[in-house]
Amino acid sequence: MSAEGNRKGPADTHALVFTTAYRRFSPVVLGYLKARGVEDAEAVTQDVFLALYPRLAELTGGIEGMRTLLFSIAHARVVDHHRARTRAPEVVEYVPDEDLRTAGSAEDDALAGSAGVLGHLAHLSDEHREVLALRVVADLSLEATAAVMQRSPGAVKQLQRRALTALRDRVSAPEVLA
Report the amino acid identity of residue 139: D
Query: Among 119, 123, 145, 144, which Cα is nearest to 132's?
Result: 145
pLDDT, residue 150, reads 94
Query: Among 68, 47, 66, 67, which Cα is nearest to 57's?
Result: 66
Share of the chain above pLDDT 90, in %: 40
- Alpha-carbon distance of 29 to 145, in angstroms, equals 14
* Predicted model pTM: 0.57
- Contacting residues for 137 by C-beta, under 8 A, at least 6 apart: 28, 31, 32, 35
- Selection from 5-19, 76-90, 99-113, 153-167 with the highest mean pLDDT: 153-167
Region 86-97 average pLDDT: 75
Q: Which fold has domain 9-90+113-172?
A: Arc Repressor Mutant, subunit A (1.10.10)
pLDDT, residue 3, reads 47
**What DSSP state is assigned to residue 134?**
I
Which pLDDT band, with edges at 50, 70 and 90, does 26 fall under? very high
Task: Please give the C-alpha separations between residue 20 and each of 47, 52, 67, 75, 93, in angstroms, as whole numbers.
Answer: 17, 12, 12, 21, 41
- Alpha-carbon distance of 39 to 82, in angstroms, equals 10
What value does the CA radius of gyration of the chain take, rounded to a whole number of Å?
A: 20
Going from N- to C-terminal start, the domains of the chain cover: 9-90+113-172
pLDDT, residue 39, reads 87
Q: Which helix (H) or strand (E) holds 114?
A: helix 106-122
Quick check: helix, strand or coil at residue 39?
A: coil
The 10 Å CB-count burial string (b at 16+, else e) for 101-116 is eeeeeeeeeeeeeeee
Query: Among 56, 76, 70, which Cα is nearest to 139's?
Result: 70
Contact between residue 121 and residue 129 where contact means Cβ atoms under 8 Å apart:
yes
